[in-house]
Amino acid sequence: MKKFIFSILCVVLLCPRAYADELTELKTMFQKMQVEMNAMAQRIEQLEQEKQRQSAQKQHEIDYLQDRVDQLERADKGTGKSLLSTLNPEVSIIGDVVYKTTDEDEGEGDNDFNAREMELAFSANVDTYARGDVVVAIENEDGNTEVALEEGYLTLLETPLDGLQAKVGKFRPFFGKANRMHLHQLPWVDYPLAVQNFLGEEGVSEAGVSLSYLIPNPADIFSELTFEAINNGSTVLGGGEENETVYLGHLKNFFEVTPDTSLELGISHAFGKNDVGDGADTFLTGVDVTLNTRLFDNRRTTSHTEVLLNKREQVTENDVDSWGMFTSLEQQLTDRWWAFGRYDFSQMPTASEVDTHAYSVGLTFAQSEYVFWRAMYTHTDNETSEDVNTVWLQMDFSIGPHKPHAYR
């Protein structure tokens, strides 16, 4: 009986201690698991942020190399695409129609509707290693219809050097950013004054050769170096003899600042013989900066600035040092509506005495990825003539896979 009572007392006395020890152990295990879960949550959050940070930059690289990817996919026997489907070119028709009214002396196309340009675009994979692009422009110039080859080139997507691509034919050289855009790709109705004065009314498009190289770097930044040689016959840049050559170089860098902000920096330089003769050259240097971000209710904001510095050698007179620039801001208002503004300043390639300023504002409505409507007002202040006010209405459409603009 005494042993039985003693056993009961032991159980009564020891159970609370055992329970307390077990509770302490459970608390310790729970705290340890909580620390591990917090660490895992932080790691997951870091990975998600890193993924978001890299997504835009990777998408930029993917877009740039899309032609090469398409080629490799077509070469894969498992794609199931027929030879006819591979060889058939993509065909598009892109139309640009404008109405322009101005208070300056009336000229052709003023205060009237004008089918300013119709483009026929053809693109196709030539083989596993190359792609061909042809753009034929039908333009209304001074009341006359002209048909011209705007671009026609072969791009070598695969070369012996990894990261190197080559382009041969007629193309828009890689000088700045606006020069590479066709009329229907511009976020405004017309080209900025600096582009018109120093590169041409619609920029430069000449026959030549282009080499582009993606520079590998430890920071994994999209960095591209381009060297080009083009004819000098019809460019404002050089303006020398047709058998002369204009040489260009461009460095482009793309940075993903935050998941919602990207920065693109570019520097360009070109030189060639001008029409003065006796070996006189023209040197043109450009800097372009593009910032994309989302500030207001996740709506996109785009800021773009270009500066062009011109040096034109003379024989009997002093060299001409002139320059021009423009800066623009685009703000997305809704899914389809955009507002924009642009400031222009420009001197002339042959003279630096006269300054021209222009101020533009406008609205763009993206009806779909194939149609957009635009209205723009421009006030131009020229030191040698009266101020000019101009109102533009624009409608662009596309039939086929090529889009008339970068659909937002």
Each residue's pLDDT tens digit, 200-250: 999 999 999 999 999 998 888 999 999 999 998 656 666 666 568 999 999
For residues 226 and 250, the answer to whether their CB atoms sit within 8 Å is yes
Count CB-CB contacts under 10 A for residue 367: 12
Q: Are residues 178 and 290 in the same domain?
A: yes
Q: Which residue has the higher pLDDT, 37 or 94?
A: 94
Q: Are residues 223 and 345 in the same domain?
A: yes
Mean pLDDT across the chain: 84
Q: Are residues 29 and 106 in the same domain?
A: no
Question: What is the domain extent for residue 30?
Answer: 16-64
d(CA 233, CA 280): 15
Q: What does the block give as tokens for 394?
A: 């624009």
Rounded to two decimals, the pTM is 0.78
Q: What does the block give as tokens for 62?
A: 């993917």
Per-residue model confidence (pLDDT) at position 375? 98
Q: Are residues 58 and 170 in the same domain?
A: no
Helix, strand, coil proportions of the chain in percent (round to 5)? 25, 50, 25
Secondary structure of residue 6 in the 3-state scheme? helix
In a domain, 156, yes or no: no
Has residue 281 got a pLDDT over 60? Answer: yes
d(CA 200, CA 253): 26
Per-residue model confidence (pLDDT) at position 356? 96
Per-residue model confidence (pLDDT) at position 49? 66
* Total structural domains within the chain: 2
CATH classification of the domain holding 262: 2.40.160.10
In a domain, 407, yes or no: no
Q: Are residues 342 and 280 in the same domain?
A: yes
Per-residue model confidence (pLDDT) at position 383? 81
Q: Are residues 22 and 107 in the same domain?
A: no
Query: Which residues are paired to 274 by β-bridges?
Result: 239
Q: Are residues 50 and 174 in the same domain?
A: no
d(CA 357, CA 347): 9
In a domain, 194, yes or no: yes
For residues 277 and 80, the answer to whether their CB atoms sit within 8 Å is no
In a domain, 231, yes or no: yes
Q: Are residues 40 and 108 in the same domain?
A: no
Q: Are residues 44 and 167 in the same domain?
A: no
First-to-last CA distance in the chain? 91
106 pLDDT band, cuts 50/70/90, is: low
For residues 405 and 394, the answer to whether their CB atoms sit within 8 Å is no
| Residue closest to 253 by CA, chosen among 268, 265, 241 | 265
In this predicted model, what pLDDT tens digit does every residue of 47-57 receive, in sequence order? 766 666 566 55
Per-residue model confidence (pLDDT) at position 234? 59
In this predicted model, what pLDDT tens digit does every residue of 128-184 receive, in sequence order? 899 999 999 999 877 788 999 999 999 999 898 999 999 999 999 999 999 999 999
In a domain, 157, yes or no: no
In a domain, 70, yes or no: no
Q: What does the block give as tokens for 142?
A: 């001074």
Q: Are residues 384 and 237 in the same domain?
A: yes
Q: Are residues 174 and 316 in the same domain?
A: yes
Q: What percent of the chain has pLDDT over 70?
A: 79
In a domain, 149, yes or no: no
For residues 330 and 359, the answer to whether their CB atoms sit within 8 Å is no
Sign for the CA dihedral angle at 253, 256, 262, 263 comes to negative
Sign for the CA dihedral angle at 258, 261, 263, 264 comes to positive
Torsion of the alpha carbons at 57, 58, 63 and 64, rounded to the nearest 10: 80
Q: Are residues 183 and 48 in the same domain?
A: no
In a domain, 133, yes or no: no
